[in-house]
Amino acid sequence: MGYVTRIVIIGGGPGGYEAALVAAQLGAEVTVVDCDGLGGASVLTDCVPSKTLIATAEVMTTFDSSYEELGIIVADDTPPLEQAARVVGVDLGKVNRRVKRLALAQSHDITASVTRAGARVLRGRGRLEGMQALDGSRKVVVTAADGTEETLVADAVLIATGGHPRELPDAQPDGERILNWTQVYDLTELPEELIVVGSGVTGAEFAGAYQALGSKVTLVSSRDRVLPGEDPDAAAVLEDVFRRRGMNVMARSRAASAKRVGDKVEVTLSDGRVITGSHCLMAVGAIPNSAGLGLEEAGVKLRESGHIWTDKVSRTTAPGVYAAGDVTGVFALASVAAMQGRIAMYHFLGDAVAPLNLKTVSSNVFTDPEIATVGYTQADIDAGKIEARVVKLPLLRNPRAKMQGIRDGFVKIFCRPGTGIVVGGVVVAPRASELIHPISIAVDNNLTVEQIANAFTVYPSLSGSIAEVARQLHTRKATGEF
């Protein structure tokens, strides 16, 4: 019987479990060391729970903003003096019970897939033990919850330990009134007045969701606008929608502290102003889970931020040690983590592998409307990193958008001036996460605006706007308008 390659994966999130599936399929002996349940933060406390919560919020928003325009009549027995009362409400306890149930079911499904593929799942915390042995192997010590230890020998180790919410020293979450994004699913009643600190993707998603569910939301942003890392046109649309729906968006306001005062929370800003709410959600970034893993002693180089340095095939500076996901700080996306994990296994096990190409990654902000992007950005073009032409078309002109009562959003495509090859795009719309895919295919396969323009679209459809933008780019390129 021939030698079997031994793989140990520390962390069971998308980077870890996808790597386990690949390695097992390629004939390796795989052990996944995980302490929380397979799926990691993505499934248990982040993507799956938040998008489940947002699904309820999305229905509320659609109903609230469109039912009158679409001619829907709601029978209501509210007395005339109280006629302004909300027609539709939400049971947050029931919503959160559904959130947790779905997250747990997804975790169980992943565990079943991994074990069915032939991998072993070991509950505990893993750490690297010392440097590489003379035969090229590595030791991983696994500590179970009861303190017992087991030592594993591996030919290659993948670190996929993720990250955890960053906390401000003077705004420590208590899980009741001051919360991080992993704790919101324990709420049984809707926050009356929610202060969200941080206007990145996580902050914007939760602020929009709770506003839709019926909370009075204040969004504290230290930057000039919400979503400072996203397309500026898209961020402007979203901020306008937020304000129009009654959200208090406080730009250029940095939170210094948060404290409980009875059944309220007081958030003090760096300029001395104090704002009060019933609850506060801290969404001020994440810290990589790279401490206590024996990394530096094993020869793994860390960045100043604590993230693990990796190359394009997920190698660290230590031979036989790979890393994937949020712990690397490459892109905090489940899709990227999964790709990094798969690439690591393909590389180590000698299968065909293509280096990670971040310019083909599509991502989405699950606000309402959603913001989906792929490829080069407006910032890249403005900074001169690439020369590209751009056309932006508002959804207001789209017949299907008019039928559905959609007023906000646009499609924007970037293409190369000479060839018309599509290098990036932005979609701001309901379900933009579904609409970005044709642009992603174009970016990944170097398709031209002419090819997109010539492909049939359904009439009427929101995707028709993608073809229309491509037609305008192709026409202007051909006539030399640019």
Tell me phi and psi for residue 399, to 5 degrees: -60, -40
Tell me phi and psi for residue 358, to 5 degrees: -70, -15
SS3 content of the chain, % helix, strand, coil (to 5): 35, 25, 40
DSSP labels, 38-75? TTHHHHHTSHHHHHHHHHHHHHHHHHHHHTTTTT----
- The answer to the question of whether 201 is labelled as a binding residue is yes
Are the CB atoms for 312 and 322 separated by under 8 Å? no
DSSP labels, 112-157? HHHHHTT-EEEESEEEE-SS--TTS-EEEEEE-TTS-EEEEEESEE
* Cα–Cα distance, 219 to 335 (Å, whole number): 28
* Cα–Cα distance, 189 to 302 (Å, whole number): 42
* Cα–Cα distance, 156 to 153 (Å, whole number): 9
CA angle 437–17–180, rounded 5-degree value: 80
- The answer to the question of whether 198 is labelled as a binding residue is yes
* Cα–Cα distance, 12 to 160 (Å, whole number): 7
- The answer to the question of whether 162 is labelled as a binding residue is no
Order the strands of the 248-250 sheet from edge to edge: 178-179, 279-282, 193-197, 216-220, 248-250
- The answer to the question of whether 285 is labelled as a binding residue is yes
* Cα–Cα distance, 244 to 225 (Å, whole number): 15
Both tokens of 35, joined, read 């302490």
* Cα–Cα distance, 269 to 255 (Å, whole number): 4
- Cα–Cα distances (Å) from 412 to 222, 238, 239, 432, 464, in that order, read 27, 15, 18, 12, 13
Which of these, 361, 452, 462, lies nearest to 411 by C-alpha position? Answer: 462
- The answer to the question of whether 418 is labelled as a binding residue is no
- The answer to the question of whether 312 is labelled as a binding residue is no
Both tokens of 299, joined, read 């020869």
- The answer to the question of whether 129 is labelled as a binding residue is no
Both tokens of 460, joined, read 């009427």
Which of these, 313, 321, 323, lies nearest to 289 by C-alpha position? Answer: 323
- The answer to the question of whether 433 is labelled as a binding residue is no
- The answer to the question of whether 429 is labelled as a binding residue is no
- The answer to the question of whether 126 is labelled as a binding residue is yes
3-class secondary structure for 217-271?
EEEECCCCCCCCCCCHHHHHHHHHHHHHCCCEEECCCCEEEEEEECCEEEEEECC
* End-to-end C-alpha distance for the chain, whole angstroms: 66
* Cα–Cα distance, 451 to 413 (Å, whole number): 13
- The answer to the question of whether 204 is labelled as a binding residue is yes
The annotation places the binding site at: 51, 126, 198-205, 285, 326
The annotation places the binding site for NAD(+) at: 198-205, 285
The annotation places the binding site for FAD at: 51, 126, 326
